[in-house]
Structure 1
Amino acid sequence: MGENGGMTYPLVEEAAKKAAVAWVSVGGPAYAVWCLPLEGRLHVVVGPGEQELPGLAEAERATVTLRGDHGGAVVTYPATVERVEPGGERWDAVAVTMAGKRLNAPGTAEALAERWGRECVLVALTPAGEPEPRGDASGSAEPRPTPAANATRKPFRLHRVRRR
């Protein structure tokens, strides 16, 4: 049993310790989000001016995928989603620490944490089930449709090419 009362999974714990980015899915495609590992949980901020992950703020469960040292997916696990409410002891500990690690943040960590309390949602993702080890590309998704796709045309040739 872990210190937070939940089951411990060594692979999840090891991957989470080093996690700066996680892929999180709430019943749809997974989004890459920056996160803060703390006390056996991953903490994520979503909202205006921060990262978007549709449905996470209202969700009760999510699926988290973490990568290893070489960039490939290492483990995928189910997690419970819990909102960290502004103003409490836990908020003060997590939000200010997380704001201090936020890259390119305007102002102080305290000011950023205060803005998050007004405009954003801070959630804790706690492992809640058997992890699936990932050593291959078996869970890779199809690329999402995008207007940025290239049109395929014949290559431009300045001079005529003669065939023999």
Structure 2
Amino acid sequence: MTVTDALFERALVEEATKKSGLVWVRAPGGPARPLWHVWHEGAACLVGDGPGEQPLSGLADGGDAVVTVRSKDKGGRVVTWEATVVQLTPGSPEWEAAVAELKGKRLNARDGEAMPERWSRECRVLRLEPNGTTRPLPGSALAEPPLPTPATTRRPVPAALPRLLRKKRRGRR
């Protein structure tokens, strides 16, 4: 690989990850999980493993992860890159900087301004630092059944839904 190719891949990883609000992260031996993040100082920063936050199971300090970035507008894969997981220590300058970025992007926080204090007590803040290796995009869809979750519910289709859908189709013709 030439220096130009390496710089191109690094720029692709950074730009694609910056623009995508959601990445798919796979820890060794685990399933790929969708995780929201922010790109900060050359790495994807995540917060989770606390009450009401995203699960970061399998991501250990010093471990490896594979990150797949999707296109924000089309939803298709753009790039898959390998990362080293670094857990930030609460109160450290790196942690403070990452949390300031994460706090600005966190939607629907239950505790608003007290969020960083809760994160320092109950959550983990991780950096996924690219190690310079990208993987070729697969030729197949890699579709898998959804992971089990207590948030999934099955309810009957509302009685009015078929009628509403027919109205929309008639309006398009």
Q: TM-score range by the shorter chain?
A: 0.7 to 0.9
Contact preservation (8 Å) 1:26, 1:59: no
Give 1:21's aligned residue.
22
Runs of at least 4 residues off by over 3 Å:
144-148
Q: What is residue 13 of structure 2 aligned with on the other side? A: 12
Give the aligned partner of residue 124 of structure 1. Answer: 127
SS in 2 for 1:128: strand
- Which secondary structure state, in structure 1, belongs to the residue aligned with residue 82 of structure 2? strand
Sequence identity, in percent?
42
Task: Give 1:43 deviation, angstroms.
Answer: 0.4
SS in 2 for 1:75: strand
Q: Of 135, 139, 142, which aligns to 1:140?
A: 142
Q: CA deviation at 1:139?
A: 5.3
Residues 1:82 and 1:61: Cα distance change in structure 2 (over 3 Å): same
**2:69 matches 1:66:** yes
* Alignment match, 1:91: 95
Q: Which of 50, 54, 57 is matched with 1:51 structurally?
A: 54
Other structure's SS at 1:22 match: strand
CA–CA distance in 2 between the matches of 1:112 and 1:145? 27
1:1-53 Cα offsets, whole Å, 9 max, x none, are xxxxx976122112012121110010221000110111110001121220013
Equivalent residue runs for 1:97-108 within 5 Å: 97-108=101-112
Distance 2:111 2:57 in 1: 27
User: Is the 8 Å Cα contact of residues 18 and 38 (structure 2) preserved in structure 1?
Assistant: no
RMSD: 2.7
| Equivalent in the alignment of 2:84 | 80
Which is higher, the Rg of structure 1 or of structure 2? 1
Matched-pair contact (CA < 8 Å) for 1:74–1:133:
no
C-alpha distance in 2 between matches for 1:101 and 1:62: 23
Matched AA of 1:41? A
The Cα of 1:129 is off from its aligned counterpart by: 3.2
Q: Aligned pair in 2 of structure 1 residues 85, 32: CA closer, same or farther (>3 Å)?
A: same
Larger fraction in helix:
2
Provide the residue aligned with 1:31 in structure 2: 33
What amino acid maps onto 2:123 in structure 1? C
TM norm structure 1: 0.76
Output the CA distance in 1 between the equivalents of 2:27 and 2:141: 16
Contact 2:49 2:57 in 1 (8 A): no
5+ residue gaps, structure 1: 1-5, 151-164
